[in-house]
Amino acid sequence: MNLSAKRLTLVWSLVVMLIASLGVATGQPVATADTGDKASFTSVAPPTTVSMSIDVLGTSLTENSLELSVTGSSRSYLVPMFGADYGLTTQVLCDPGTLTITASAPQKLEVTLMVSFLDEEGLVLATYEDTLRMSPTIAQTPEQPATPAPQPVVEQPKAPVLLPATAFTPTISGSLIVTQKLTASANLPSGWKVSGYQWFRGSAAIAGATASTYIVTAKDVNLTLSVRVIATRDGYKDGVGTSAATSKVAWNYLVSVDKTKLLSKHYTVGRTSKIDKIVIHHNAGNLSIDQVYNVWQTREASAHYQVQSDGKVGRLVADGNTAWHAGNWQANVTSIGIEHANNTGKAPWTISDSAIDSGGRLVAELSIYYGLGRPTWMKTVYPHSYFSSTSCPGELSKSQQAQYMARAQYWYDQLIAGA
């Protein structure tokens, strides 16, 4: 294939390539001007004239142009591009190996240069061919977002202006005794209604206590109770009222006593020391509350409580007084004494299961009230025989001791949990 045919083939190939790359007919972004390769040619002798034949492959747009810069002459040549050969002859003073031609154009092009070095008479000394390739930077036109359709202005409803709540103060009624029910009265002004309750133990909200009534539990002992009521009325802000705190829940009034029959003698009024223990006894007989009371009318002895064989409990000396039961004065002033009826009239001195259960619960209640902790044998619960030379409390310190303490600890755990 001769040079002209080869160039024609390249022209058509590159025209298709340039049209696709430029996107002239597709609306794609147009290329910005850029500089292509440099072509260097080496002459065989110092020439006086350089003849350049330029073959531009790529476009027929007359408004585009190719700029050639030739070193040595500090000249630039603006060449219109018609997709055909273009001849140019110029005078360039050039030493061997120093001729450099740089091309630039506003689109991707391939430019073939035929450079001839002529002597003074115009004879060709040497001819070179080289191709310059230009890949301009594509200036991307950002896609413009679609303008949203105007939305109708919706006027937001204004929040109603609420009137301030009317003040109110709830009250509490009922007995401050474990297992007893307390009732909250909201005392609302006319037009208001209750929307919620919350009971408090001290300053802490009681989980789940959100009704108008509340059952007092062992957890409330030595603490105050109060209730907060929330009320509503159309057009008003919510009202909040809190009752006054109750007095402290006192466990001493809720010990499971079936009968109170207080002695008038054979005990000492008041105490000189803090209660830190419980001392257990047995009757050495199957006595009732009344029978024990009668015995102590003449016998110089007493205890705070008596537990019958059927499980009933009687109070004979108030906790705040010192009963004469341990045979040791220091033990007396620091303890609560509990007598238990035997279920037989002779040794071994055992007691009934009902008496064990009631006596164990009594120990648990007293342990909670006086802060003795979980009932523990020989730490907070002692047999009479520990302080005096006696066989009392019979089997309660022997074969039935474990059973008795198990019931005391069971009731302690149940009461602490609020069961």
Give me the tens of pLDDT residue by residue for the chain, a chain 419 residues long. Answer: 443 333 333 333 333 333 333 333 333 333 334 455 666 666 665 656 666 666 666 544 344 566 666 665 445 555 554 444 455 555 555 555 566 777 676 666 677 777 776 767 767 777 777 777 766 555 455 666 777 778 787 777 777 788 888 899 999 998 887 767 899 999 999 999 999 999 999 999 999 999 999 988 778 878 999 999 999 999 999 999 999 999 988 655 456 689 999 999 999 999 999 999 999 999 999 999 999 999 999 999 999 999 999 999 999 999 889 999 999 999 999 999 999 999 988 889 999 999 999 999 999 989 988 889 999 999 999 999 999 999 999 999 999 999 999 999 999 998 877 64
pLDDT of 378: 97
pLDDT of 220: 85
CATH class as words, domain 171-250: mainly beta
pLDDT of 66: 64
CB 43 within 8 A of CB 116: no
358-to-254, 292, 338, 339 alpha-carbon distances in Å: 14, 17, 11, 12
Cβ count near 36 (within 10 Å): 20
Cα separation, 368 vs 275, in Å, equals: 12
Q: Supply the CATH classification number for the domain 255-416.
A: 3.40.80.10
Q: Specify the DSSP class assigned to residue 396.
A: G
CATH fold for the domain made of 3-134: Immunoglobulin-like (2.60.40)
Q: What is the pTM of this model?
A: 0.46
Q: In the chain, where does the domain assigned CATH 2.60.40.2700 lie?
A: 171-250
85-to-13, 40, 95, 322, 382 alpha-carbon distances in Å: 16, 20, 27, 133, 126
Helix (H/G/I), strand (E/B), else coil: 413: helix
pLDDT of 92: 58
Closest by CA to 261, choosing from 285, 295, 234, is 295
Cβ count near 232 (within 10 Å): 15
Angle between helix 353-369 and helix 401-416 axes, rounded to 10 deg: 50
Helix (H/G/I), strand (E/B), else coil: 329: helix
Radius of gyration, alpha carbons of the chain: 57
